[in-house]
Structure 1
C-alpha cells in the first residue's frame, strides 16, 4: 500500500484531513509509548540499532551495509539481526545462500553477502543467537520502536527530501512516534539525499535535531555498465520506486517505463513474463534494484540487470566518535 500524499506535506501546511485524523495519531503515539516502556534484553556486546521514525523505507539497508564496512575497517566483524520482513521463518535462523526471499525476506538475503545475518521475529532471541555464535558487535536492523533489546547506540535514518513528513503520527502522517520523543532516544541522525534535499531538511527540521547529524547520499556503484543511452524498462518494489527511476535517468539511461511495485512485493512468474514481453516489444532491457534482485526466481536473474547503489558519507567523524566511546 502506498503512503497517502498528504503525509509528505510540510508540517506548517498539513491540510484538513491530517487535522481530522490527528486524534487517531495521538492514540497511535500513545500505544507506541506504552510498548516502549517494556523492559528489554541487555546484550553483553555492543548493539547498534538502525531505525527510523517514519513508516516505510529511508535507506536503512544501504546504511547497514556501510556500517558493516566501517566496522570491518576498524577490525570488527559485525553480525546483523533482522526481523526478516516478508519472510515466513520465525527464527532465529542464520541466513544462508540456500534460503529464499519468501523464507527470510529480501533485505536479509542481500545483507548476508556482507555479514552473518540472523532472522528472528523475536529480536531478543535473534541477538542471543548471534551472541552464542560469537558475535562481538551486532547491528539491529529496524528495531528502533521495538523494546525487546536495549541498544548501545541508536542511529535514526531519514530521507532528507521527505524529512519527517507532516510531523503527525499514523494515520494522520507517517510518524511511528513524535519526532521529539523518538530523537530523545537517538544518538545520531543520518539524513540521506542530494545537496538540495539536505538543505531542505536543514531548513525545516534542524531545530528538532539536537544530536549529531551525518549527511550522506546513495550513489551508483561503478560495475562496468554504461547506462548512457541504454533503453530500460525498470521495476522496483521498494519504499520509493521513483527515486530508483530518477537514479537511472541520472546515469543516462532512457527509461521506457517504470513499474512501481509494493514494497517487498513478491515477483511472480506472471508479472515477470508481462514485463519481459513489454521490454522486448520496446527494445528495452529489464532492470531492477539490488533488493528486488534478491527476490528474483533463479531462472530470471540472468535476464535482469541490477543497478547497485551504496551509501557515501563525506564526514564519518560523529559516528567514529560514537564507536570510540563503545570501544569499537
Structure 2
C-alpha cells in the first residue's frame, strides 16, 4: 500500500508544537538511513559509460519539479543537435531493463509513469542498474545522457550534478522541514552532504511567486542557484473541474490549478505513483457527475490511466522555464564539452 507524503515532514524546528511524536520515534531510523547512504557513496567506484552524464537529482523525498527540468534539458540539447537520451530507474514499472521506453508498446506498469511521459519527446532508457542503462544508451548513439534522479546513486561518473529544490515557502512549511533525514523528515541525506557533490541548485518556484525566499537562498551561498518556474504548457480546461493527483506533493497541483484560473469544484489527493483501479476511477467519475464537472489531472497521472479513461480525463501539462537560460546553457556546455 502506498502512503501519502506526510505534511509534518515540512514543519520547521521553530514550529515544534506542530510536530507529531512520530518524528521523534523515527529519528534513530533516520540516522541509520543517512549512514548507509554516506557509506554507499564513499565506497563506490563510478563508471564512465562513454557519454557525458548530466544528473538531475533531489536531496528530498516528494515532488520538486525534477522531471520537468529533465525534459527541459533534453529538449535544449536535442534542439541544438545533441543526441541526448534520458535515463531513469523506472520507478513503479516491472521491467528491470535496460530497455528503451516505447509509448506504443509499454504502459506505466511496465516502465513507470515519468519515463512513459518523457518518451513522447526523447529516447528514454529504463534500468534498475544505472550503469548498465547508461552503457545501453551510449551504444545506441547517445551523445549525452540526462539521468532523472540519482544524486545519491554513485554508480556513474557525472559531468554535471544538479539538485532540484522546491523553492515554495509558506507559513508553517519549509522545503527541508527541520532537516531530518527519512523517515523522520523529507531529506534523503543531510543538506551539507548533498550540496558538497552538487555543481548547481535549480530552485523551482510556482509561476505566481515573485521571488525566492531570502532565508532559503542563503543556504546555498556556496553553490550556484538557477531559478526556474513551473508554468502551464496550456491553460486548464474551462468550466467546473474535479482534479486529482497522485504525486509527491499533490497539494501543489491544487494550488497551481487555482493559480492558473481553473474552476475547481473538488480536488482529490492520492499517494505518489498511485495505481488507478476501476473502483477509484468510478468514484472520481461519480464525484465529477455530482458537481457537473470534468476531470483533470497531471500528465504523470494521465500516463497511469487505463487507455479507455484517457479520453475522459484532461491531462494538464507543465514545463520548467529558467530565468537565466544562458547560465543553464553554460553549465550544459561544460558538461558535454562543446558550446550550445
- TM-score, structure 1 as length reference: 0.93
1:150 deviates by 1.8
> 1:283-302 residue pairs with structure 2 within 5 A?
283-302=292-311
Contact 1:288/1:305 (8 A) holds in 2: yes
* CA drift at 1:281: 2.4
SS of 1:42 mapped into structure 2: coil
Report the counterpart of residue 211 of structure 1 in structure 2.
223
Q: CA deviation at 1:22?
A: 3.5
Match of 1:313 in 2: 322
1:43 correspondence with 2:43: no
Displacement of 1:109 after TM fit?
Answer: 0.3
**Counterpart secondary structure, 1:218:** strand
Aligned to 2:171: none
1:22 and 2:35 correspond: no
* Number of the residue aligned with 1:105: 112
Query: Which piece of structure 1 moves more, 314-323 or 167-176?
Result: 314-323
* Structure 2 residue 182 is matched with structure 1 residue 176: no
Deviations 1:81-100 (A, max 9, x none): 10000000011011112100
Give 1:269's match in structure 2, choosing from 278, 291, 304: 278
The question of 1:139 aligning with 2:146 is answered: yes
Pair 300,284 (structure 1): closer, same or farther in 2 beyond 3 Å: same
Please give the alpha-carbon distance, in whole angstroms, between the structure 1 residues aligned to 2:30 and 2:215.
Answer: 25
Q: Return the alpha-carbon distance in structure 1 between the equivalents of residues 222 and 81 of structure 2.
A: 30
C-alpha separation in 2, matches of 1:169 and 1:209: 22
Residue 189 (structure 1) shift: 0.3
Q: What pairs with 1:1-328 in structure 2 (closer than 5 Å)?
A: 1-14=3-16, 17=21, 18=23, 21-37=26-42, 38-97=44-103, 98-161=105-168, 162-194=174-206, 196=209, 198-200=211-213, 202-222=214-234, 227=238, 230-326=239-335, 327-328=337-338
* Count of residues in Structure 1 that have an aligned counterpart in Structure 2: 324
Question: Which structure 1 residue ranges, 5 or more long, are not aligned?
Answer: none
> For the aligned residues, what is the CA RMSD?
1.9
Q: Report the secondary structure of 2:201's partner residue.
A: strand
Deviation for aligned residue 1:40: 2.1
Say which SS state the counterpart of residue 54 (structure 2) adopts: strand
Q: 1:39-91: per-residue Cα shift (whole Å, max 9, x none)? A: 12122211000100011221111111111112123321210110000000011
SS at match of 2:297: strand
Unaligned runs of 5+ residues in structure 2 are: 169-173
Q: 1:62·1:311 contact (CA, 8 Å) conserved in 2? A: yes
Give, in whole Å, the separation in 1 of the partners of 2:192 and 2:305. Answer: 40
Q: Alpha carbons of 1:205 and 1:8: their partners in 2 closer, same or farther (altered >3 Å)?
A: farther
Structure 2 vs 1, CA of residues 197 and 19 (structure 1 numbering), >3 Å: closer, same or farther?
farther
- Relative to structure 2, which stretch is displaced further, 104-113 or 250-259? 250-259
Q: CA deviation at 1:132?
A: 0.8
Q: Which has the larger displacement, 129-138 or 205-214?
A: 205-214
